[in-house]
């Protein structure tokens, strides 16, 4: 038996362009919100300050202390590439100083213990070695103000120490004293430090510029191009032959997976305008295309725009936004999305943050697909934690609850197209070297549909995916990256089960 039913083919052929809805946003931003906007949100608020603060003393290498000179050694004989020089003064045999003990704890990643140890020996404040290691320990354990005071004392004794000035600049950055941080970073750049140091300083300078959007109008834009390969362009089933309820043995005439290469083009921009202290208007827009080399029936064009208001109050950041997005497939109008959302970010400390979000959207399909029109609502809860250690890991987790309720304008409500959704995403971001970044994550989503479909099946899907992106900054504004996606959708309806892998290489240039 051959199946050519319009509903079945529509479900199969629309899976590809519906991938953004199969996995609802695992943050409090919309699934269809622009990638550019999401990237900007990570660094424009105090809530995500810890993302860059976690760079810590790793400005010089993946092992900061290995590249940091002993404070008691005259800085004039230290070069950026030299190894630490042992203390050469006269000490009683076997005596280990408090500074030595703090240095050892810092080397073991125990900044909080090093800070607590230093507090027990307050009479040693003013000793350069003690001040340096206590300052670093204080910064890395969430006591930036005390760390800055100690490092300022050290810099007064050794004003030419690039290493100490790097830590002091980082302290100013954590405290939000952007002008003083910029002065220190600019002074460091004038010394022509090694490329790795320059790259990390540039990251801080970019973050300072992003933070300044709270006080003055800022704007940015990007262009992006790439090539890729997709093993399942249409989101089709693996095998044309299968046994289906009601129909029995079936050989599909379409809807079977097909692979193809593609080109990718994208561009976008964003602007932020402050209205009052802590309050800003923001807006963003982007356009992207995916053009397949052979299967041009599935070519896609996506356009999206969003805008809203943000308000920063102490440790809380509140955001409200409106979003509009439209999708074309094979140059034909496919779907519009009109949505609104709100989120609350709360910074627990310099390394941890919570996020709560709510979303609502109307999904409006074109022509025969109007039967799929629906209202989408979602709630999400997220947590982030940064670690001060090699590779500066950032762990993120988000749990999402959502409903997609069908409101078919062509007839009766289609419960088989309405679903209850819950999902979980776990992700990690790493910085293995100053110009490199690696982001990866695992996502799971369960979709339980509310009515039986044409096969008399009350459908339930289990979607599982792994994604990874590796980026390298060739220059300040130029980045190359590769993106990998591996996905599997298991379903009790065999027509909706599929596997998919894609690999994309991109070049991105940002205008700042």
Structure confidence by residue, pLDDT tens digits, 143-188: 999 999 999 999 998 888 888 899 999 999 988 888 889 888 988 8
Q: Which residues contact 297 (CB under 8 A, 6 or more apart)?
A: 330
> Quick one: tokens of 32?
């269809």
DSSP 8-class letter at 116: H
For the chain, percent of residues with pLDDT exceeding 90: 50
Task: Calculate the alpha carbon distances from 262 to 232, 298, 423, 467 in Å.
Answer: 12, 10, 29, 19
How many CB atoms neighbour CB 142 within 10 A? 18
Tell me the C-alpha distance between 475 and 372, whole Å: 45
Task: Calculate the alpha carbon distances from 149 to 138, 143, 161, 165, 360 in Å.
Answer: 10, 11, 16, 12, 48
Residue 28 three-state SS: coil
- β partners of residue 488: 464, 499
**Is the pLDDT higher at 267 or at 44?**
267
> Quick one: tokens of 254?
């379409």
Task: Report domain 6-32+217-511's class.
Answer: mainly beta
pLDDT tens by residue, 393-415: 999 999 999 999 999 998 889 99
Residue 407, phi then psi, degrees to nearest 5 = -135, 60
Residue 407 three-state SS: coil
Contact 400, 423 (CB under 8 A): yes
Contact 230, 260 (CB under 8 A): yes
pLDDT of 382 strictly over 90: yes
Which residue, 132, 124, 166, is CA-closest to 149? 132
How many CB atoms neighbour CB 277 within 10 A? 9
Q: What angle do helix axes 178-189 and 162-175 make, rounded to 10 degrees? A: 160
The whole-chain average pLDDT of the chain stands at 81
Tell me the C-alpha distance between 346 and 334, whole Å: 38
Contact 495, 8 (CB under 8 A): yes
DSSP 8-class letter at 235: -
Residue with tokens 């603060």: 53
Task: Report domain 64-193's class.
Answer: mainly alpha
pLDDT of 70 strictly over 60: no
Which residue, 193, 185, 202, is CA-closest to 67? 193
Tell me the C-alpha distance between 165 and 173, whole Å: 12
Q: What pLDDT is stored for residue 132 in this prediction?
A: 93
Tell me the C-alpha distance between 270 and 43, whole Å: 13
Contact 97, 128 (CB under 8 A): no
Which residue, 51, 47, 38, is CA-closest to 386? 51
DSSP 8-class letter at 282: E
Q: What pLDDT is stored for residue 213 in this prediction?
A: 64
Instruction: Tell me the residue length of the chain.
Output: 512
CATH 1.25.40.10 domain range(s) in the chain: 64-193
Residue by residue, DSSP assigns 343-375 as EEEEEEETTEEEEEEEEEEEEEE-GGGGGG-EE
Which residue, 291, 364, 396, 335, is CA-closest to 47? 396
Q: What is the mean pLDDT of residues 374-392?
A: 92
Tell me the C-alpha distance between 254 and 242, whole Å: 13
CATH 2.40.160.40 domain range(s) in the chain: 6-32+217-511
pLDDT tens by residue, 22-59: 333 333 333 333 333 433 333 333 333 333 333 333 33
Q: What pLDDT is stored for residue 29 in this prediction?
A: 36
Which residue, 400, 439, 403, is CA-closest to 419? 403
**Is the pLDDT higher at 374 or at 72?**
374
């Amino acid at each position: 038996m051959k199946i050519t039913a319009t509903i079945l083919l529509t479900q199969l052929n629309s899976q590809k362009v519906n991938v953004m809805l199969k996995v609802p946003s695992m943050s409090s931003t919309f699934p269809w919100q622009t990638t550019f906007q999401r990237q900007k949100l990570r660094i424009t608020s105090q809530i995500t300050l810890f993302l860059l603060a976690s760079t810590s003393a790793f400005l010089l290498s993946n092992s900061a202390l290995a590249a940091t000179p002993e404070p008691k050694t005259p800085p004039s004989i230290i070069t950026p590439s030299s190894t630490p020089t042992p203390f050469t003064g006269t000490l009683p045999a076997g005596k280990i100083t408090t500074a030595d003990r703090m240095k050892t704890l810092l080397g073991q990643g125990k900044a909080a213990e090093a800070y607590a140890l230093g507090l027990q020996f307050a009479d040693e404040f003013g000793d350069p070695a003690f001040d340096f290691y206590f300052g670093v320990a204080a910064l890395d354990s969430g006591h930036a103000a005390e760390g800055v005071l100690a490092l300022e004392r050290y810099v007064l004794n050794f004003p030419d120490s690039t290493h100490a000035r790097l830590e002091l600049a980082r302290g100013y950055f954590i405290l939000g004293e952007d002008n003083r941080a910029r002065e220190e970073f600019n002074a460091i750049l004038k010394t022509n430090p090694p490329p790795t140091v320059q790259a990390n300083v540039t990251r801080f300078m970019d973050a300072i510029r992003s933070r300044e959007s709270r006080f003055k109008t800022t704007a940015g834009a990007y262009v992006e191009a790439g090539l890729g390969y997709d093993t399942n362009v249409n989101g089709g089933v693996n095998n044309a032959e299968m046994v289906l309820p009601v129909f029995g043995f079936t050989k599909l005439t379409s809807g079977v997976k097909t692979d193809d290469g593609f080109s990718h083009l994208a561009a976008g921009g964003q602007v932020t305008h402050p209205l009052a202290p802590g309050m800003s208007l923001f807006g963003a827009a982007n356009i992207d295309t995916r053009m397949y080399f052979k299967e041009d029936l599935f070519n896609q064009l996506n356009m999206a725009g969003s805008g809203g208001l943000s308000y920063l109050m102490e440790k809380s950041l509140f955001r409200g936004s409106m979003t509009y997005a439209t999708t074309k497939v094979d140059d034909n109008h496919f779907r519009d999305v009109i949505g609104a959302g709100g989120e609350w970010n709360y910074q627990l400390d310099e390394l941890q943050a919570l996020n709560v979000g709510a979303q609502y959207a109307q999904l409006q399909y074109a022509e025969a697909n109007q039967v799929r029109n629906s209202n989408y609502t979602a709630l999400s809860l997220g947590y982030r934690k940064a670690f001060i250690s090699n590779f500066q890991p950032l762990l993120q987790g988000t749990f999402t609850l959502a409903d997609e309720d069908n409101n078919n304008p062509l007839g009766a409500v289609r419960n088989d197209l309405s679903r209850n959704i819950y999902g979980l995403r776990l992700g990690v971001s790493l910085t293995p070297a100053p110009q490199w970044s690696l982001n990866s994550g695992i996502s799971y989503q369960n979709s339980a549909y509310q009515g039986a479909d044409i096969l008399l099946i009350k459908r339930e899907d289990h979607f599982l995916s792994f994604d990874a992106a590796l980026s390298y900054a060739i220059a300040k504004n130029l980045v190359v990256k590769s993106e990998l996606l591996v996905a599997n959708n298991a379903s009790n309806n065999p027509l909706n089960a599929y596997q998919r892998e894609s690999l994309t290489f991109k070049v991105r240039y940002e205008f700042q």
